[in-house]
Homo-oligomer: A and B are copies of this chain.
Amino acid sequence: MSELKGAAIIGQSGGPSSVINASAYGAIRTALDCPSITKVYGAANGIKGVLDDKLYIMDEEDAHELELLKYTPSSALGSCRYKIADPDVDDTDYKRILEIFKKYNVRYFFYNGGNDSMDTCNKISKYMMKAGYECRIMGIPKTIDNDLFGTDHCPGFASAAKYIATSFMEVYHDAHVYDTGMVTIVECMGRHAGWLTAAAELANYAGAGPDLIYLPERDFDMDKFLADVTRIYNATGKCLVAVSEGIHYADGSFVSEAKTAATDGFGHAQLGGLAAMLANIVKEKTGAKVRGIELSLLQRCAAHCASLTDIEESFMSGKTAVEKAVEGITDKMVGFECDRTNGYVCKPKLFELTSVANYEKKVPQEWINAEGNGVTKGFVDYALPLVQGETKLPKENGLPRFAHLKKVVAK
């Protein structure tokens, strides 16, 4: 394919992760070094930065600060949750995007995000083709939820999994220190897919993990849950539980949203989330000392505990997106294909944007135990290679030294 010369825009979207900037850096660095790419822009707050004509000039950034993006959590360019319209219904945004692309001679567009971002990518790509404007568009995946279709796993998942497993090991030690009884319930993110909660099982692999794990892939039964906890508590005096925020009853209603006596059985007002609610229910039922812990934002931004494997793969994903686009490929997402038969090998693989968007990948049923209160070795074999290696995040005064970007806005 003939060389396409022009500028590139890189945008980030959706919820942050510890390594979304490692992907962005993979794309930015590679684009900056590429002769076909004349200028590299970062869109301020994702697609909104394009619509608002607010683009940061990446060429102006200090090379060392850019490199620190590999270890800096959250979206350095800013994120958005803006859902772009269907172009057949309303093409206002698309016309504006085309206008901006023309203004800056943008011929490469890289979008770094989850399901919705791949959908945005896909729609823009289709529109540009229809408009006859040559622009190569690639999706760079990101989501701690690990729920993107096709790819073996998603950049961001492994670092969150590593933080969760590490935290479970530490909480295990804390919760087992007294000779008195204690039930601890830890809530992990994952509204529809239980990948992050399942990661707690890695702590068991390392010898200090939860007794029970509940994922949204199985219907939750409060009576069964209370029986499980009571049985273990009565036998050992302790019980450590991992629950996904997305656990739901058979009728589909979220346990966290159960507000009435009829649904949650106790009629507690809900303030502190699922862990606090379950802790209260277990306390009333068993009389045990119970503590609810919500890992909250910490699990998606704990860059100090990121997986080096995740950082390097995220970088590779961004780098590959640029390389493939320059080679002439468009309309793809750079995911991963992994081989675990003899060690662990991860290679970039291109997926059709149309097949990725708007589909959520769940934890396979065969990786959940028969009782629905734990995960199997299959999951551990899958996830363990992903959490290997430690971040090289530099420290200053004992604290993280994250990237400081100048963010010079293009006129």
Contacts and interface: CB of A to CB of B under 8 A. Distances in A.
Interface in A227-279: 268-273, 276-277
B298 A167 contact: yes
Given A73-B174, A166-B400, A293-B298, A272 B268 contact: no
A170 interface: yes
Contacts of A79: 177-178
B171 A298 contact: yes
Contacts of A302: 167, 170
Interface stretch (A101-109, A119-127, A200-208, A346-354): A200-208
Interface string A295-336: 111101111110101000000000000000000000000000
A11 B202 CA distance: 31
A56 interface: no
Contacts of A169: 399-400, 402
Interface centre among A75, A166, A180 (most CB of B within 10 A): A166
Interface centre among A293, A296, A303 (most CB of B within 10 A): A296
Interface string A206-218: 1110000000000
A16 interface: yes
**Copies per complex of this chain:** 2
Interface stretch (A26-34, A90-98, A386-394): A386-394
A151 interface: no
B173 A73 contact: yes
Contacts of A207: 404
Q: Is chain A's binding surface mostly helix, strand, loop or mixed?
A: mixed
A48 B179 contact: yes
A177 B352 CA distance: 28
A405 interface: no
Contacts of A389: 398
A298 B295 CA distance: 9
Interface residues of A, number: 73
Interface in A57-82: 72-75, 78-81
B400 A72 contact: no
Nearest to A81: B178
A3 interface: no
A73 B208 CA distance: 12
Contacts of A398: 162, 307, 309, 384, 387-390
A178 B397 contact: no
A170 B276 CA distance: 24
Interface in A363-411: 384, 387-390, 395-402, 404
Contacts of A178: 45, 78-81
A176 interface: yes
A395 B270 CA distance: 39
A-B pairs with lowest CB-CB distance, top 10: A272-B272, A74-B173, A269-B269, A272-B276, A174-B301, A387-B398, A170-B301, A388-B398, A206-B399, A271-B276
Interface of A: 16, 44-45, 48, 72-75, 78-81, 162, 165-167, 169-171, 173-180, 184, 202-203, 205-208, 268-273, 276-277, 280, 291-298, 300-305, 307, 309, 384, 387-390, 395-402, 404
